[in-house]
Amino acid sequence: MTDGDHRNEAEEEDVASPVELRRGIEALGVGDIKKLKLIARFWWSHYELQGRSGGPEDLLQDAIERCLKEGDDRRRWPKKRTTLVKFLDGVIRSIASHEVESAVRERKREDAVYALGATPRPSGSATPVRPQPSPNAESRVAAREELEDIEALFDGHPRTLEALRCKAQGMTEGEIRKALQIDQREMERIKKQILRAFVTYKKSNGDDHGNQ
Amino acid sequence: METSKRGKLFSAFLDFVHEASESELDQALRSEGEDPNDVYLRGQTAIEKALSRHPGPLEEDVEFHEQPIDQALKNGFSTLVRLLRQREKMSMEDLAERANVELREVVQIEVDADYVPEPRTVFQLERIFDLPPRTLVLLSGSMTSHPQEFRDKVERFAARSKGIDKLDRKQRKALNQFVQFLAEEAKARGYSR
């Protein structure tokens, strides 16, 4: 048996079976479900998927279906490396970003066809099969980086930004408090502010059409 | 700021969200005029739709219905959870926190002979103790059909482990063997894939 085989075997053990995954989903707690719903809404807003049919809940449904469906392209949960909620977060985000990428490709292909001049571009846009990406969403995908400016989100709140920078360096809550010389009360205030920013994140784009 | 640093900041932002408790999330929602229950119902509906479109094998595997509690199995379950917790040198509080369940439930599992734990709790405990799938479900009271020799073995394990509050090498070995037995039983019944 080669090193590669051993690695594959270890990876297989690490991945939840379809039964385990289903049980995990069925066992999600109320808090987990709220979080997933809000995460779907967050990525929906972030990638500006207003043109997609359904709402953020459909995105959540899609993500779970991609994990439950049979076949090689099923999303596999590395159960020992990440929690189910974090894993599903990744699947939701990947679906959202992929849709924008596909739409960008489609638009470029169309542009190329019309640029040849053989076919006149219809007035207005053709019925979109996929969501039409906004320039912002397009640039986010093109750069493959999160370009959303967190600094702008917490403009005027230097403590919160400092806490986020500490967290980005892998600090625990206690370490952040020590580094910033803040007490538990201030830390709680920062956490509340971050959560409020999360639940209101671009809500006007993604969720004001009954898709709450 | 470089884009990679921005990406890290973005991840840190989401890490705070992942680490938030349900009550913290509820508080944030209420402060923005949203009903947490509505958020839950919408999420739950989406999950149920996905599950109903991909029916799995679980429903046939487990018989979830009201049955008198099988005391032998229940004792085996309580004993096993207590010993696994001791093996991992965890207090009841530690276990509740790590499994993300209420302390009350851990206490009930270990001391209340009539208590049947929630399926979610059983699943969480299997994960925390790194047990093969359905190992604990076999004993938790949600499955009702077991061969007599299985029941005998569980009963013997519970009886022998009574009163142990610190595992020695021999008891640790017996515990690991019992877990192995349950894992093989689950596999033989086709519960783990």
State how far residue A95 is from chain B, nearest Cα, in angstroms: 15
User: Which of A12, A13, A19, A159 would you mutate first to test chain B, the one with the most B CBs within 10 A?
Assistant: A19
pLDDT of residue A54: 78
Q: Which domains does chain B have, with CATH numbers?
A: 3-53 (no CATH), 71-188 (1.10.260.40)
B49 touching A, CB under 8 A? yes
Q: Quick check: A193 pLDDT over 70? A: yes
Is the backbone of residue A160 left (phi > 0), alpha (psi -120 to 50) or beta? alpha
Q: Which residues of A touch B15 (CB under 8 A)?
A: 167
Do the Cβ atoms of B28 and A196 come within 8 Å? yes
Percentage of chain A exceeding pLDDT 70: 72
* Residues B32 and A200: beta-carbon distance below 8 Å: yes
CA angle A164, A32, B4 (to 5 degrees): 30
State how far residue A129 is from chain B, nearest Cα, in angstroms: 23
By Cβ distance, the residue of A68, A145, A194 closest to B3 is A145
What band does B76 get if pLDDT is binned at 50, 70 and 90?
Answer: confident
Q: Which residues of A touch B191 (CB under 8 A)?
A: 19
The full DSSP string for A101-136 is HHHHHHHHHHHHHHHTTSSPPPSSPPPPSSPPPPHH
pLDDT digits (tens, 9 = 90+) for B159-184: 887 777 677 888 888 888 888 988 88
The Cα diameter of chain A in Å comes to 68
Q: Report the complex ipTM.
A: 0.79
pLDDT of residue A19: 83
Give mean pLDDT, residues B43-67: 67
**pTM score, whole prediction:** 0.61
Nearest CA to B179 out of B120, B111, B128, B126 is that of: B126
Size of interface A-B (CB pairs under 8 A): 181
Give mean pLDDT, residues B5-28: 88
